[in-house]
Chain A
Amino acid sequence: MEQIPILMVGDCLLVSIQVDMHDQLAMALQDSLMTKIVETGARGVMIDISALQFVDSFIGRLFSNIASMARVLDAATVVVGMQPAVAITLVELGMTLSGVKTALNVDRGLALIRRMIAVEDGRGRREA
């Protein structure tokens, strides 16, 4: 079965969704991401959806799940590149994707992840 490639950029995992995913592929992506986070100890996950022309409630929930699970594994998740038409539709659909941070593009996304990691680490140090 085809897999969506996952790249590593620094200590961040980067996934670029280029295809219209069917449910199995989406679930497979979720599993691969979790496995990779554990394998690599990545602190950040960036999902690039600039090529996605739609996000329905299934995909939306997927992103929320990925963000929640990644957080447990001490990694921050950012979704980048959402197209205006997709954003408008999601709002109309009623999905707020709470728990998922977003950024305009990959650069901003990486900067955001850096900040999120710094906050987490700062918190950790205080508690130690």
Chain B
Amino acid sequence: MPKPSDSILPTLLDRHHKRLLEDWFIQQQGTGAAVATGDDAETRAHSVRFLTELRKGLASGELDGIEGAGWSGMREVLDDISRAQALKGFSPSQTAGFVFSLREPLFGLLRREVGDETSRLAEEMLMVALLLDRLVLYTTEVFQKSREDVITRQQQELLELSTPVVRLWEGIVAVPLIGTLDSNRTQIVMENLLQQIVTTGAQIAIIDITGVPTVDTLVAQHLLKTVAAARLMGADCIISGIRPQIAQTIVHLGVELSVTSKASLAGAFELALRRLGKTVVDRAPAKPVAE
């Protein structure tokens, strides 16, 4: 590989970028590698940005990878393009195609300018090929990450939907947890609960774990941290649906925190009402209508 200071590419790009852009555009149309289907203006904008950053990156002299600061602008362009593609549901091959389609125009440029120096030409072409490969690899990673982000977000929304915070009474909310709790889910649910406490102005939050088959130490820790956080905010928690083995786990953690717990949600609700100074009374039976 030519030493960074030796590569003639930065200079060539500076001098011939207009022609290169046009050549690239033609190549994109030809191979159907336009980034935005039927939207030439957007593709053109992306192409211009790409070339600008390519010049900057090459000028920075960092030629053994695109991780460095000199390539940060390029990474941003690729981030934008890949993300936009991912959101629209396109495949990573399309973004890859966009980058690869620059190969022929660049090779063409090199052949025109350095054509007579065969070994030099070979070196520069190799460098271009390797660089474009790296850029494409990067776009694939970003694409993947974006898809993962979409999935995570959808999971989150599903979680929030499936673990509603229910207002049982004025000042009393309940969170019925159902299914297996993993650390991530518990955290989301708990943050949601705390936010709901603020929104509804609840004084007591009942966390019902009747529907949870097992509670491991990590989840128990999260539960207790949530109780502590709620207490700091000024609300009290009651845990309901405690089974003996779960009680054991909590005790095992050597907790100084005293969390009241009840076996059933009904029991917890009753306790909550009592704490708020409320009583449930029977209404006098309605008098029969006089005949």
Contact = CB atoms under 8 A, between A and B. Distances in A.
A binds B: yes
Interface of A: 80, 82-84, 87-88, 90-92, 96-97, 102-105, 108-109
Interface in B132-187: none
Interface residues of B, number: 17
Interface in B177-204: 191, 194-195, 197-198, 201-203
Contact of A84 (B202, B225, B229): B229
Contacts of B202: 104
B229 A90 contact: yes
9 contacts: A82-B234, A84-B194, A87-B230, A88-B229, A90-B229, A91-B228, A91-B232, A104-B202, A104-B233
B198 A102 contact: no
Interface string B205-244: 0000000000000000000010011111111000000000
Nearest to B231: A102
B198 to A, nearest CB: 6
B197 A104 contact: yes
Given A92-B225, A96-B228, A104-B197, A87 B203 contact: no
Nearest first, the 8 closest Cβ-Cβ pairs linking A and B are: A84-B194, A87-B229, A103-B234, A102-B234, A87-B232, A104-B234, A91-B228, A82-B233
A94 to B, nearest CB: 10
Contacts of A91: 225, 228-229, 232
Contacts of A97: 232
Nearest to A55: B232
Contacts of B231: 102
A104 B232 contact: no
B230 to A, nearest CB: 7
Most A-side CB within 10 Å, residue of B195, B197, B232, B235: B232
A90 B191 CA distance: 14
A97 B234 CA distance: 12
Given A84-B198, A104-B201, A104-B203, A90 B234 contact: no
Contacts of B228: 91, 96
A1 to B, nearest CB: 30
Contacts of B229: 84, 87-88, 90-91
Contacts of A88: 191, 194, 225, 229
Contact of B195 (A84, A96, A109): A84
A83 B198 CA distance: 8
A96 B231 CA distance: 9
A87 B233 CA distance: 6
Nearest to B232: A87
Nearest to A87: B229
A55 to B, nearest CB: 9
A99 to B, nearest CB: 13
Contacts of A102: 231-234
Contacts of A92: 225
Contacts of B195: 84
A21 to B, nearest CB: 19
Contacts of B197: 84, 104
